[in-house]
Amino acid sequence: MSSAYPQPASIGPKLELHDLPHTSSPLKSSSRNTLLRSSSTRSYRSSIPTASSALRDEVQPAPLESDESDAYDEDGEMEEAEEKDTYIDEIYQIIDSVVPRTDRPKLPALTFRVWLLGLFFGTLFCVGNTIFTFRTNVTVLPAVIPVLMAYPCGRFLARVLPRGFLNPGRFNHKEHALIYVISSTMSSTPYALNNVIVQRYLLNQTGLTIAAGVCFAIVTQCFGYGFAGVTRRYLVRPAAMLWPSTLATIAMLNSLHRKDDVSKGRYPMSRFRFFFLASSYIAPMLSALSVICWFASNKSDNKLALVLGSSSPGAGVGFLSFTLDWSLFSSIFAPITSPLWAIINQFIGIYLFMWIVVPLCWWFNAFEGDQLVGRATAYGFALNTAFLYDKNGTKIRAADMVSRDSMLLLNQTLYDSKKPIYITTYFAIHYCSSFIVFVAALVHVLLWYGPDIWHRLRTSVNELDSEDIHAVLMDVYPEVPDWWYIAVLIATTAGGILICSTDAFQLPWWGVIVAVILAVVSMVPIGIIQAISGQQIGLNVMSEFLIGLLLPGKVAAVMTFKTFSYMAMYQGLNLTMDMKMGHYMKIPPRSLFLAQLVSTIWGACVSTTAACALLESFGTNPTGPNYWKFQDLSTNSGWNLQNYNTFFSAGVIWGAIGPIRFFGQGSPYFKTLLGFILGFILPVIPWLMHKIQPNGYWHLINIPLITVLSQNPYSQQSNLITPLIVAIVVNYYLKLYRTLWWKKYAYVMSAAFDAGSSIAVLIIFFFARYNPSFTMPFPVWFLNPADTERCLPDDVLECWGHKSMGDGFGGVYNEALDPQCN
């Protein structure tokens, strides 16, 4: 991949040829190949402006070739092109549809307007996304919303502010892009919130003050920033590192600042107008439609039907369940911006694990207590939860497993009386999947991308990607020296050692060093997979497994190490993604560095204090010490702290109980450790088959994506069909048969749906759920059953509905006055 564009007579290195975003069907038809070659290497290279012309202050973008221009091109050179070249060409086709091949270096970038609007909107959306972390299915307010809000504000400031420092002239796309970067960085809530909420509020660890939580959040957020900088030559500069999720934002910025029409007049509606039409009419109405439950909810002996068909938190696996609520899957799967090949890989694995492996393991009691757990619930079983259960299958409060002193150690007496501790079948398979994914990601990247990574390690940055027009345009600007990022990394490591060694976090100094080593090993492999597919693989389970072996029985230390190691990768990759957007938008690297660093620190302060303020605004429950009323919201309210409860349960499993007790030999979950062996073996199979059949499609099989389970236990599992349908319709049908429409509107439509659904969810929360003493539940009726999907018997749903309405509008449900349900 030393050259971003393939040579006509040869196939480039494997980093360019394997796992490239191929968003259409891999059928080998002549019409398909013709379409893919519409931006062929030959036509693409011939239209690239020279470096000198591309760097002029005013350059007209080279026009995109129309879909018909190459449709009947029978050129011999094109017919002789290798099949793999089509995947490289498609990257260029995708980039060209939204990213101009020109730059204006004299445009001001990091201006007063950027700081004012970026920090203002970033603060607002940081608070909003912090609130959303308490949702059952976490919804994210996309940073494209402040992009839209900043546009009229920026133009207004350009008119009213005096010219000079405050107003360098017309509000331009580089300022707008930096506002997005600031807002995006602040919108990504710190993972350290889990530590603060769980330890301070769920475990009543009063020694962890809000100030200590803020400092911990700042250190962990900036820790990832240092890794983002030192790995940018592998994850940002290469053209093959597409980072598809950035393209929707770029399309939105272009719709506001550029007037070129890639549809050449066929679709006259502007992207800007299309955005507002799309976002105004989207609404989350039907969140769970269970086909199986429609026919089995009131029948006797229907447990298997409920296991398969129900999808609510605490219920089953959601087989054939679907949703019309965009907010339930957009932030998890990103079906429009993610390449179709990646979505197909991911859903093959999801269907395999969720709809085949999990039900079979439950049916045959693969983990001994599978059918035992959750017998006392309304469903008569439990699959989709992250809770712990005792030897009788009764739910255990995770807080009871931890001693209520400052050391947060295992409550040995309670553990001995309750063991063996069970988790649900889905939770166990989720852990097994995490073991597979971590090892498979390392093996996968080593096999396919190892030579190119080694080449980039030995070659200077300016000698790489010399034929990539975007890299050439960026070379005009002074680069950020590596030592700036290294200095941030050293400072945050030192700060982490100081903070983590306190009684609040209890992680010894060497634990921070181990977190650094784990991040170094995993950052590039996992980053490459996210860059080409748009899907991120988590490091949290592996970090828990490692530190649980090193520090058994110490809950606070395990949760602290998990956050440190995970954020080095997660936050680092988020910042890397913004660096790629800056690369596409030609933002001066040093301006981008400063914008990211300041917004990272400020966002950590705002998010941590907002989360604490939200919980404390609900007050404490007088029936128990420091039991927060937020937890009294019903299971189906949509606000059950799913993220924090999962983090809490994991802390008890890996910290208090420890991996040796829970996953060691003799444990019901010992067999999940087979995931490590599968992680070594599975990626080798498609790689070997590709060597044997280089013209096949083995290079599109991505084992890490197939084996990753993006859905956390206790989420609404009705979102496993709709995103695949959306991806096929948009990135296969529309791209193949309505290519010009796809180029102009697809990514804008994704941004519009994200914006509309997120705003609707936020409004509903503040309007109907925020005041715990005066919630406003929507009346229960056919399309709004008490369990959201009408899987339980009608008499149970009726009683749940009575309680929901009885507790609403300031009332308190009195079961004694409802003889039908008591």
Provide block-wise average pLDDT over 10 residues at a time, the chain (822 residues).
34 33 36 33 39 40 40 39 54 76 88 94 90 71 79 91 89 92 88 88 81 92 84 82 82 73 59 56 52 69 79 82 78 82 90 91 89 82 84 82 71 84 90 90 86 65 63 87 90 91 87 87 84 77 86 86 86 87 91 93 93 75 50 55 78 83 87 92 91 83 87 76 91 87 80 75 63 57 62 68 61 63 65
What would the two tokens of residue 310 be? 């129900």
pLDDT of residue 38: 34
If DSSP states are collapsed to H, E and C, what string results for 387-443?
CEECCCCCEECHHHHECCCCCCEECHHHHHHHCCCECCHHHHHHHHHHHHHHHHHHH
How do residues 464-480 score in pLDDT, each as one tens digit? 555 678 888 888 899 89
For 116, 594, 604, 748, the CA distances from 125, given in Å and listed in that order, are 14, 20, 13, 20
Alpha carbon distance 134, 612 (integer Å): 12
| Amino acid letter, 633 | L
What would the two tokens of residue 536 be? 């991120």
What would the two tokens of residue 685 be? 């199979």
Q: What is the dihedral of CA 329, 335, 341, 345, to 10 degrees?
A: 0
Instruction: Note whether 127 and 276 are within 8 A (CB).
Output: no
Alpha carbon distance 517, 330 (integer Å): 33
Quote the pTM value: 0.73
Q: What is the dihedral of CA 733, 734, 738, 740, to 10 degrees?
A: -140
DSSP 380: S
Q: Is 52 helix (H, G, I), strand (E, B) or coil?
A: helix
pLDDT of residue 539: 73
pLDDT of residue 406: 59
Backbone angles phi, psi at 733, to 5 degrees: -65, -55
Counting Cα atoms < 13 Å in the Cβ hemisphere of 174 gives: 21
Backbone angles phi, psi at 784, to 5 degrees: -140, 65
Alpha carbon distance 17, 417 (integer Å): 57
pLDDT of residue 474: 86
Instruction: Note whether 247 and 742 are within 8 A (CB).
Output: no
Angle formed at CA 308 by CA 347 and CA 425, multiple of 5 degrees: 80
Nearest to residue 205, comparing CAs of 54, 408, 363, 484?
A: 408
Alpha carbon distance 320, 744 (integer Å): 33
pLDDT of residue 445: 85
Listing DSSP states for 491-537 in one string gives HHHHHHHHHHTSTTT---HHHHHHHHHHHHHHHHHHHHHHHHHS---
Is the link from the previous residue into 420 a cis peptide, with omega within 30 of 0?
Answer: yes
Alpha carbon distance 331, 646 (integer Å): 18
pLDDT of residue 370: 85
For 195, 629, 701, the CA distances from 210, given in Å and listed in that order, are 11, 19, 46
Nearest to residue 148, comparing CAs of 254, 250, 274, 253?
A: 253
